Amino acid sequence: MDSLEFIEECQEKVFAGIGLSSDDAEKLFNIPDENLKDLARCANEITRDFNGEKVDVEQLNNIKKNACSEDCTFCGQSAFFDTGIETYQLPSPGEVVLKAQKAKDEGAESYCLVAAWREPSKKDFLKVCNIISEINERVGISVECSLGFLTKEQAKKLKELKVKRYNHNLETAKSKFSEICTTHTYEDRLETLKIARDAGLELCTGGIIGLGETREQRLELTMELSRIYPEEVTINILVPVPGTPLELQTPIHNSEILRMFAVIRFLLPESVIKISGGRETNLDDSGEELLQSGANGIITSGYLTLGGNEAKKDREMIEKIGLKA
C-alpha cells in the first residue's frame, strides 16, 4: 500500500468510527513530505464532516500576570527569569466585565480567564469566583478558566459557576517534561485534568511545540492527548521570550506543525483543535493553511503577554477561506 492509500484508509476508519491504532498514528506522523498535502486534505475533510465550517474563536484575559513561582523554561511569566514583563495582581470584576463584553461584541464565543500562578490561593480563588459571577450576570459569554492546579472543591465550585471548560496544558511529552520544568511534574498536570473532568468540567489541554523536542516526542504528546480525549486541544508554537532559557531556540519548521495538527485531527475528529500562542509569529499566513489541515479554532486579539491580530482581521481571514467565524 502506498502512502496516499494508507492515509485514505485511515480516513475511512475515522469516518467509520474505528479508532486508529498507535501504529497507524505513528505511520501517519511520519508520512513522507511529498504526501503532506494529502494528509492535510484528509484531515480537513474529517474536520468539515465532524465540525462543519465553524471556527471557534476565543479571547483571553491574563488576570494575573508574571512573578509565577514555577520555572517553566518557555514562560516569560516565571519569576525565575528576568524578562522585564510587567507584573499585576487580580483586577476588579468591573474591569474584567468590560473586557469580556468587548470580546463578545467582537464575535468571540468564549472568554478564558488565565492566571500566571501555580495554583490559586483561597483568597484569590474567591476573587476569581466573584469575577466569573459578574461576567455571567452582566455579559453572558461562555467562560473558561486556566488557573493552574485545582483542588476537587475548587473544580466543583467552577462547575457550579457554569464554567464550561478548564484549560490545563500538558505542555510537552512526558519524556521531555523534566527538561522544561522542575517545580512540578507531568503527573501533577494529569492529576488536575482528572480533577476537572471528575467535577464535570469540559477539558481543554495541549501544549507547546518548538521547545526542541523531537518528532517522536510530539507524537508521544499527541498519543497522550488522544487518550484523554479532551473537548478541546490547544497547541501553542513557542514564542521565544528574551530572558528565558529558550530565548534562542531555533523555530520549528511549518511542515512539522502541520503534521501534528493533521494527525491530532485523525485521532480526535470531534474536538476543537485550536492554534494558540505563536500563530502570528510562527506562521507566515497566520494559520490559514492549518485551518484547512485539521485545526478549527483560534485565539484572537492577542495573548497573555504578547499582542496578536485584531479580531476583525482574523474574522476576515476565516471568511476568505470559506469558513465561518
C-alpha cell at 118: 501555580
User: Contact between 208 and ligand SAM (CB under 6 A)?
Assistant: yes
- Binder among 116, 155, 311, 325 for ligand SF4 (CB under 6 A): 116
Q: Is 84 left (phi over 0), alpha (psi -120 to 50) or beta?
A: left
- Binder among 62, 77, 167, 300 for ligand SF4 (CB under 6 A): 77
User: Contact between 277 and ligand SAM (CB under 6 A)?
Assistant: yes
Lookup result for grid cell 520555572: 71
User: Contact between 38 and ligand SF4 (CB under 6 A)?
Assistant: no
C-alpha cell at 126: 474567591
Q: Kindly report the CA angle at 141 between 171 and 209, in degrees rounded to 5?
A: 15
Q: Kindly report the CA angle at 258 between 254 and 261, in degrees rounded to 5?
A: 140
Q: Is 111 left (phi over 0), alpha (psi -120 to 50) or beta?
A: beta
- Closer residue to ligand SAM in complex, CB, 54/118: 118
Stretch that binds ligand SF4, among 24-32, 69-77, 221-229, 312-320 (CB under 6 A): 69-77
- Closer residue to ligand SF4 in complex, CB, 71/256: 71
User: Contact between 72 and ligand SF4 (CB under 6 A)?
Assistant: yes
- Binder among 118, 164, 174, 197 for ligand SF4 (CB under 6 A): 118
The binder of 273, among ligand SF4, ligand SAM, none, by C-beta within 5 to 8 A per type, is: none
- Binder among 20, 28, 68, 173 for ligand SF4 (CB under 6 A): 68
How many residues touch ligand SF4 (CB under 6 A)? 9
The binder of 78, among ligand SF4, ligand SAM, none, by C-beta within 5 to 8 A per type, is: ligand SF4
- Binder among 63, 100, 108, 114 for ligand SAM (CB under 6 A): 114
C-alpha cell at 70: 514555577
Q: Find the length of the chain.
A: 325
Question: How many CB atoms sit inside 10 A of residue 126's CB?
Answer: 12
Of all helices (H) and strands (E), which one includes residue 136?
A: helix 122-138
CB 167 within 8 A of CB 110: no
Q: Give the binding site for ligand SF4 (CB under 6 A).
A: 68, 70, 72, 75, 77-78, 116, 118, 148
